Amino acid sequence: MMGESKNWILMATARAPTNIAVIKYWGKRDEALILPINDSISVTLDPDHLSATTTVAVSPSFEKDRMWLNGKEVSLSGGRYQNCLRELRNRAGEYTDENKGIHIEKYDWNTLHVHIASYNNFPTAAGLASSAAGFACLVFSLAKLMNVKEDLSQLSTIARQGSGSACRSLYGGFVKWTMGNEMSGSDSIAVQLANETHWDDLVIIVAVVSSRQKETSSTSGMRESVETSSLIQHRAKVVVPSRILQMEQAIRNKDFSSFARLTCADSNQFHAVCLDTSPPILYMNDTSHRIISIVERWNRHEGTPTVAYTFDAGPNAVIVAPNQKVAMDLLQRLLFYFPPARDNELSSYVLGDKKILHEFGLESLSSIEGLQPPPEAKDKGLAQRYGGDVSYFICTRPGKGPAILVGEDQALISIQTGLPK
């Protein structure tokens, strides 16, 4: 194969975003291929604030496939990693770099081993879905390294086999995962509905809710729902198909009130299906419920949906505002109800895009202490504050899809040793 030397190392680095579903994926019809029972739609979040970065390396000197996640070695023996690696090796192309004396034939990829190093730019302990960004990034970077000549929709079918929601992280903006009909899964792909510039007024605030509880994983939770919930069938067959059409239209027309109504209703129905599962699955906690009440009360007071909330398989809230102005009103409410625990700096309490804080002069802890209750709570005795119930907030927006990062300084693996830096 590749010349005399065994010393060369070839690498690729990529960054891929997370996504938040506004019409949820919940339930599989095929566990191994990860084929869903309904379509879903998501918004890709700005990778500057929530993303995975992955470097993949190949060398004839590597003795086996290895992976490090946030600096710690993890096993690649799981079926999901193996399926992604196999699918990519099957599609790998030949590669030549005459300067470095590297020549790799298509079939060489079956015997060459890879090293993978990945890290998330947000705390993993936060319970924010990291598998979507992680698998999207793994597939995107390996496709680059292995010279896979497939379009993003084909790559999405590979990422899907790592984690269902990962297929939607192959694109920026607004993304639909079509469930497909084929047994092989070939038509269960992600498609972009609109890119990140289409509706760039939106502001997204993630509330990372403190929780001590170990949650049921999405994978086992949705399996139990499929086995025991009767509501899930009605949802998949009747409710979701019509919501998908309405959501596509709301996104196309940038119709925020429809977008918000559908997003909240679908999150609530997903959690209703969880409650309809036996034994019931409770992902939201008191703080999550409080956030729903605050938003619902505010929306009712305004007479129209001002912001939208959605919750995945955990207590964290993702709240979408139509623009900066409303986002600031939202953040003031959130900081009023959930001030930081004592000793917490504001700079480590509101993360991500801080522009929003600075613009409105909310720069010190004392400015938060002095916040007044919002008008809809003023004379109703609803002004109780819950310090410490939120760990921190991340301000972000719709973002772009995966990208290759060039330059050795961006790589997580050393070109000298082939190991994490």
Among 18, 131, 192, 310, binds ligand DP6 (CB under 6 A): 131
Structure tokens, 409: 């300084």
Binding range to ligand DP6, per CB under 6 A, among 49-57, 161-169, 352-360, 384-392: 161-169
User: Looking at 157-165, 338-346, 395-403, 413-421, which segment touches ligand DP6 (CB under 6 A)?
Assistant: 157-165
Nearest distance, CB of residue 209 and ligand DP6, angstroms: 15
Taking the complex as a whole, how short is the minimal distance between the CB of residue 301 and ligand DP6, in angstroms? 29
59 binds ligand DP6 (CB under 6 A): no
Q: Which of 22/88 has CB closer to ligand DP6?
A: 22
The minimum distance between CB 348 and ligand DP6, in angstroms, equals 26
Question: What is the helix, strand, coil percentage profile of the chain, to 5?
Answer: 40, 20, 40
The helix or strand, by DSSP H or E, that contains position 168, with its residue range, turns out to be none
> Is residue 21 within the footprint of ligand DP6 (CB under 6 A)?
yes
Return the number of the residue (164 or 185) whose C-beta is nearest ligand DP6. Answer: 164
Out of 134, 164, 305, 399, point to the residue binding ligand DP6 (CB under 6 A).
164
Name which of 152 and 313 has its Cβ closer to ligand DP6: 313
Read off the amino acid at residue 173.
Answer: G
Residue 191, amino acid: V
Residues paired with 63 in a beta bridge: none
Q: Does 256 bind ligand DP6 (CB under 6 A)?
A: no
CA distance 211 to 15: 28
Q: Is 109 in the site for ligand DP6 (CB under 6 A)?
A: no
CA pair distance 135, 158, nearest whole angstrom: 9
**Residue 190 touches ligand DP6, criterion: CB under 6 A:** no
Q: Which of 295, 378, 363, 290 is nearest to 329 (CA)?
A: 295
Contact between 288 and ligand DP6 per CB under 6 A: no
Q: Which residues lie below 8 Å from residue 238, measured CB to CB, with a gap of 6+?
A: none
User: Within the chain, how many helices (H) and strands (E) appear?
Assistant: 11, 19
Query: Rounded distance, CA 113 to CA 146, Å?
Result: 11
Q: Which is nearer to ligand DP6, 143 or 318 (CB)?
A: 318
Residue 402: closest CA among 10, 9, 19:
19
**Distance between the two ends of the chain, CA-based, in angstroms?**
28
User: Binders of ligand DP6 among 295-334, rule CB under 6 A?
Assistant: 312-313
Q: Is 25 in the site for ligand DP6 (CB under 6 A)?
A: yes
Q: Which of 24, 49, 89, 400 contacts ligand DP6 by CB under 6 A?
A: 24
Question: CB 223 → ligand DP6: shortest distance, Å?
Answer: 8
Which stretch in 1-9, 17-25, 319-327, 390-398 sits in contact with ligand DP6 by CB under 6 A?
17-25
Cβ nearer to ligand DP6, comparing 14 with 175: 175
Name the burial class of residue 345, with classes exposed (0-12), middle (13-18) and buried (19+) by CB atoms within 10 angstroms of its CB. exposed
Residues 6+ apart with CB under 8 A from 32: 79, 83
Among residues 129, 139, 331, 413, the one that binds ligand DP6 under rule CB under 6 A: 129
> Which range in 22-30, 70-78, 206-214, 229-237 contacts ligand DP6 by CB under 6 A?
22-30
* Chain centre to alpha carbon of residue 150: 23
156 binds ligand DP6 (CB under 6 A): no
Residue 235, strand partner residues: none
Whichever of 315 and 374 has its CB closer to ligand DP6, that residue is: 315
Q: Where are the beta strands (DSSP E) in 50-101?
A: 51-59, 66-69, 72-74, 95-97
40 sits near ligand DP6 (criterion: CB under 6 A): yes
Least spacing, CB of residue 363 vs ligand DP6, in Å: 34
With contact defined as beta carbons under 8 Å apart, do 14 and 137 qualify?
A: yes
Any residues with CB less than 8 A from the CB of 317 and at least 6 apart, and which? Answer: 206, 207, 209, 288, 291, 292, 309, 310, 311
**Tokens describing residue 204:** 């997204």
Is position 176 an interface residue for ligand DP6 (rule: CB under 6 A)? Answer: no
Site residues for ligand DP6, 201-230, by CB under 6 A, read 218-219
Q: Does 411 bind ligand DP6 (CB under 6 A)?
A: no
- Positions that interact with ligand DP6 (CB under 6 A): 21, 24-26, 34, 40, 129, 131, 163-165, 218-219, 312-313
